[in-house]
């Protein structure tokens, strides 16, 4: 973020106190902060009591071998039992768990906890029949249909790890994830609906299976949900229809209690290298934090609230705040298959009106696109049931915050700006809607139970009014346990930068990769990534990953990718490419060819906004690409200091080319 933007943020003086009714009945009060800080382990142990444990833990936290944590040591539980069975046993079987809204209008289903229970048990039995056993990895590549939730819970129920891959990722990206975690099983669908048309998924799985086989990994079984009814290629030795598999089995399944540290899932996310990292989450601590944060941050009143999180299950938000948090709490929620503005721009607001949604959780990029369409659209709907609004995925700019609060929240519902990451597993920094007077653009302070700070390059806590790097200074229950198969990378990526905070080698601080500022009141403003990770519409992408994709094209010699500031998507991808000599000028369709290539290697979300063919890239004498300069060019701002470049005339060439292309 530029220093101008920083300065303008610091002048953002508006404050919004919690509404009285909310404050009076808030789930968590001001005192929780002090209680949690005074004795964090007891505080978390109390939160763990939200769950049903088959065996109680004997130790809250084992941090003897940092950064490898164990939470609720010795405890045993089943995540699926906690999300489903126990609500049925408590007499809530007839309560709606999911108001599912399909993309085609009128294609809806209400699923009660009792129905969800039967579905999860059947799916668990079907997975066992297919040969899935505890510890196996099951890749899930599905649209937003109830079976996706059922599949995740069925895996958890039998102790298999799910690895959900976002349906927008390409066959190549899917294959890379299947191979990295050596998944023997894949659950998918023939296709899903997007903007009124059926879009295929199964062919990507077939392709990924071939690609994995070429790399020596054989997928044993693929379970296919029939969603769109479109034609699919079929291999009898591998493919099984979901409906056939689940119809043949019993709806009774006795859940087994697993160790608190039994792995629950692997979720891939982008890092600073070309290979996505498999973030490992385990059971007891993760589920505790998912349930606690969902209850505290949204002030969940489980008997009356209708909750809706618009995230896709392919991202961590979909895991924690669509599956594990709300279901562990026994909430009623909306699950939506479609896109916000199809078939008409008011689709989301119509859903809020129809289902009387009271808690709504979405991303700033969506809010900004609605702002563009104007106030008249949401004004047509009754949004008066909304009482808490959440934001996640990227910094929310004050104007979007104000619009969200005023137009969607009727100037009544507080906005909670929640900062967290795939790695943290649950929200770390956020206002509490009944306690905190919110400031537009600030995630405020760590929630009770979490300790964070902003530190200098040297690892010293910065004073109020200054910026630095965001760190988490104490372990927390839903922290990632490692990177799948790569403990070294885990230590290196997150724990080495501020080890000891420059003070004490035994102090382990988690480096989040974000820059942040403490304002004069000590409130936190998260400014965005300080590494080579981009954030495009709240989706996390690595510059290196896209560079590798470009370089894998036969005509490309070298590539540099940067994320430049963008009004709508937060950041947009700009790629600078040097062609190989033998490719000449690349031919008339070179830009389209390269764009399609990136789409094929990663997926449509990684498509560059602009690709520029350049003669050279700006490099230091030691050969490091100075992306900062390319970002200046892409953002159209003055190009910064070029004195460390090996050849400073390069930037003139690139700037001229960029100007000519606009």
Q: Per the annotation, where are the binding residues for CoA?
A: 194-197, 317, 537, 599
Quick check: 208 binds ligand WT7 (CB under 6 A)? no
Quick check: 419 binds ligand WT7 (CB under 6 A)? yes
Q: Which of these ranges, 97-105, 291-299, 353-361, 393-401, lies near ligand WT7 under the rule CB under 6 A?
A: 393-401
Quick check: 158 binds ligand WT7 (CB under 6 A)? no
Collect all residues with Cβ–Cβ distance below 8 Å to 212 and sequence separation of at least 6.
Answer: 175, 178, 179, 218, 219
**80, 188, 422, 478: residue in contact with ligand WT7 (rule CB under 6 A):** 422
Minimum gap (Å) between residue 270 Cβ and ligand WT7: 8
**Of the two residues 88 and 267, which places its CB atom closer to ligand WT7 in the complex?**
267
Separation between Cα atoms, residue 490 and residue 161, nearest integer Å: 19
Strands across the sheet with 415-418, in order? 108-112, 96-101, 332-336, 306-309, 359-362, 388-392, 415-418
Minimum gap (Å) between residue 427 Cβ and ligand WT7: 8
**Of the two residues 122 and 517, which places its CB atom closer to ligand WT7 in the complex?**
517
Quick check: 426 binds ligand WT7 (CB under 6 A)? no
- Is the Cβ–Cβ distance between 543 and 562 less than 8 Å? yes
Minimum gap (Å) between residue 146 Cβ and ligand WT7: 23
Q: Would you call 145 helix, strand, or coil by DSSP?
A: coil
Minimum gap (Å) between residue 122 Cβ and ligand WT7: 31
Exposure string of 259-298, with b = 16+ CB inside 10 Å and e = fewer, is bbbbbbbbbbbbbeebbbbbbbbbbbbbbbbbbbbbbbbb
Minimum gap (Å) between residue 66 Cβ and ligand WT7: 21
**Of the two residues 443 and 556, which places its CB atom closer to ligand WT7 in the complex?**
443
Separation between Cα atoms, residue 464 and residue 456, nearest integer Å: 12
**Of the two residues 78 and 421, which places its CB atom closer to ligand WT7 in the complex?**
421
Separation between Cα atoms, residue 323 and residue 263, nearest integer Å: 16
Q: For residues 494-513, which are near ligand WT7 according to CB under 6 A?
A: 512-513
**78, 365, 421, 542: residue in contact with ligand WT7 (rule CB under 6 A):** 421
Quick check: 395 binds ligand WT7 (CB under 6 A)? yes
**Of the two residues 288 and 422, which places its CB atom closer to ligand WT7 in the complex?**
422
Quick check: 535 binds ligand WT7 (CB under 6 A)? yes
Separation between Cα atoms, residue 185 and residue 162, nearest integer Å: 10
Per-residue binder mask for ligand WT7 (CB under 6 A), 83-112, x = binder:
------------------------------
Binding region:
194-197, 317, 393-395, 417-422, 514, 529, 537, 540, 551, 553, 556, 599
In this structure, what token pair is assigned to residue 151?
């599949």
Quick check: 191 binds ligand WT7 (CB under 6 A)? no
Q: Using DSSP bridges, classify how beta strands 108-112 and 185-189 pair: parallel, antiparallel or unpaired.
A: unpaired
Say how many C-beta atoms besides its own lie within 10 A of residue 152's C-beta: 30
Minimum gap (Å) between residue 320 Cβ and ligand WT7: 8
Quick check: 392 binds ligand WT7 (CB under 6 A)? yes
Quick check: 165 binds ligand WT7 (CB under 6 A)? no
Long-range Cβ pairs for the range 379-382 (8 Å, 24+): 379/407, 380/346, 380/349, 381/346, 381/349, 381/350, 381/352, 381/353, 382/353
Q: Which of these ranges, 46-54, 112-120, 334-342, 415-423, lies near ligand WT7 under the rule CB under 6 A?
A: 415-423
Quick check: 125 binds ligand WT7 (CB under 6 A)? no
- Is the Cβ–Cβ distance between 257 and 154 less than 8 Å? no
- Is the Cβ–Cβ distance between 103 and 290 less than 8 Å? no
Quick check: 543 binds ligand WT7 (CB under 6 A)? no
Q: Which of these ranges, 77-85, 283-291, 389-397, 404-412, lies near ligand WT7 under the rule CB under 6 A?
A: 389-397
**Of the two residues 528 and 608, which places its CB atom closer to ligand WT7 in the complex?**
528
Per-residue binder mask for ligand WT7 (CB under 6 A), 304-333, x = binder:
------------xx----------------
Omega cis (within 30) before 343: yes
Nearest to 543 by CA among 535, 552, 557, 532: 532
Question: Count of residues binding ligand WT7 (CB under 6 A)?
Answer: 22
Quick check: 278 binds ligand WT7 (CB under 6 A)? no
Query: Could you say which DSSP state residue 438 is in?
Result: B
**Of the two residues 605 and 639, which places its CB atom closer to ligand WT7 in the complex?**
605
Binding region for Mg(2+):
551, 553, 556
**Of the two residues 449 and 528, which places its CB atom closer to ligand WT7 in the complex?**
528
Alpha helices by DSSP H, 191-298: 202-214, 242-247, 284-297
**Of the two residues 443 and 579, which places its CB atom closer to ligand WT7 in the complex?**
443
Q: Using DSSP bridges, classify how beta strands 277-282 and 263-269 pair: parallel, antiparallel or unpaired.
A: antiparallel
Nearest to 137 by CA among 87, 181, 187: 181
Quick check: 417 binds ligand WT7 (CB under 6 A)? yes
Specify which residues 429 forms β-bridges with: 419, 446
Minimum gap (Å) between residue 316 Cβ and ligand WT7: 5
Quick check: 443 binds ligand WT7 (CB under 6 A)? yes
Collect all residues with Cβ–Cβ distance below 8 Å to 406 and sequence separation of at least 6.
Answer: none
Q: For residues 511-530, which are near ligand WT7 according to CB under 6 A?
A: 512-514, 526, 528-529
**Of the two residues 346 and 477, which places its CB atom closer to ligand WT7 in the complex?**
477
Longest Cα–Cα distance in the chain: 73
- Is the Cβ–Cβ distance between 482 and 461 less than 8 Å? no
Say how many C-beta atoms besides its own lie within 10 A of residue 536's C-beta: 21
Chain residues that interact with ligand WT7, rule: CB under 6 A: 269, 316-317, 392-395, 417-422, 443, 512-514, 526, 528-529, 535, 540
């Amino acid at each position: 973020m530029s220093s101008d933007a920083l300065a303008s943020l610091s002048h953002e003086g508006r404050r919004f106190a919690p509404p009285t009714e909310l404050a009076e009945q808030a789930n968590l009060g001001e005192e929780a902060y002090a209680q949690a800080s005074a004795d964090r382990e007891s505080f978390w142990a109390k939160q763990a009591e939200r769950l049903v444990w088959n065996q109680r833990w004997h130790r809250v936290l084992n941090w003897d071998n940092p950064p490898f944590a164990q939470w609720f040591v010795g405890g045993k539980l089943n995540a699926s039992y906690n999300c489903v069975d126990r609500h049925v046993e408590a007499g809530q079987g007839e309560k709606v768990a999911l108001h599912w809204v399909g993309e085609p209008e009128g294609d809806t289903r209400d699923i009660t906890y009792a129905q969800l229970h039967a579905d999860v048990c059947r799916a668990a039995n079907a997975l066992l029949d297919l040969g899935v056993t505890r510890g196996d990895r099951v890749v899930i590549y599905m649209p937003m249909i109830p079976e996706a939730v059922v599949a995740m819970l069925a895996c958890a129920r039998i102790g298999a790890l799910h690895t959900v891959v976002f349906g927008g990722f390409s066959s190549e990206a899917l294959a890379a994830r299947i191979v990295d975690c050596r998944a023997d099983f894949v659950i998918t669908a023939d296709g899903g609906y997007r903007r009124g048309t059926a879009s295929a998924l199964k062919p990507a799985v077939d392709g990924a299976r071939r690609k994995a086989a070429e790399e020596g990994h054989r997928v044993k079984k693929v379970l296919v949900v029939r969603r769109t009814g479109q034609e699919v290629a079929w291999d009898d030795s591998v493919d099984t229809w979901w409906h056939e598999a689940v119809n043949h089995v019993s709806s009774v399944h006795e859940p087994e209690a697993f160790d608190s540290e039994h792995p629950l899932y692997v979720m891939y996310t982008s890092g600073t290298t070309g290979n996505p990292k498999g973030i490992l989450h385990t059971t007891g601590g993760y589920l505790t934090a998912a349930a606690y944060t969902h209850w505290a941050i949204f002030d969940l009143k489980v008997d009356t609230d209708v909750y809706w999180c618009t995230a896709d299950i392919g991202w961590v938000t979909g895991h924690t705040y669509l599956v594990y948090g709300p279901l562990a709490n026994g909430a009623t929620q909306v699950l939506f298959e479609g896109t916000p503005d199809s078939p008409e721009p008011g689709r989301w607001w119509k859903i809020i009106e129809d289902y009387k949604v009271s808690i709504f959780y979405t991303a700033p990029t969506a809010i900004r696109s609605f702002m563009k369409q104007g106030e008249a659209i949401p004004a047509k709907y009754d949004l008066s049931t909304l009482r808490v609004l959440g934001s996640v995925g990227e910094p929310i700019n004050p104007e979007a915050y104000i619009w969200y609060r005023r137009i969607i929240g009727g100037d009544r519902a507080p906005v909670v700006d929640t900062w967290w990451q795939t790695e943290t597993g649950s929200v770390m920094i956020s206002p509490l809607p009944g306690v905190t007077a919110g400031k537009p653009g600030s995630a405020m302070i760590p929630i009770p139970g979490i300790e964070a700070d902003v530190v200098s390059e040297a690892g010293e806590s910065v004073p109020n009014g200054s910026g630095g790097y965001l760190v988490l200074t104490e372990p927390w229950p839903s922290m990632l346990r490692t990177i799948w198969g790569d403990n070294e990378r885990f230590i290196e990526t997150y724990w080495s930068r501020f080890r000891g905070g420059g003070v004490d080698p035994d102090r382990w601080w988690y480096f989040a990769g974000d820059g942040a500022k403490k304002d004069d009141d000590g409130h936190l403003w998260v400014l965005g990534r300080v590494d080579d990770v981009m954030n495009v519409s709240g989706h996390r992408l690595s510059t290196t990953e896209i560079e590798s994709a470009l370089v894998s094209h036969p005509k490309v010699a070298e590539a540099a990718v940067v994320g430049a500031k963008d009004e709508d998507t937060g950041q947009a991808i700009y790629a600078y490419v040097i062609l190989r000599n033998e490719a000449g000028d690349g031919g008339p369709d070179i830009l389209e060819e390269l764009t399609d290539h990136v789409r094929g290697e990663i997926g449509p979300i990684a498509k560059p906004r602009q690709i520029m063919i350049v003669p050279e890239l700006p490099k230091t004498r030691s050969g490091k690409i100075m992306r900062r300069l390319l970002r200046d060019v892409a953002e159209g701002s003055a190009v910064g200091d070029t004195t460390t470049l090996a050849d400073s005339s390069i930037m003139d060439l690139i700037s001229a080319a960029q100007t000519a292309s606009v």
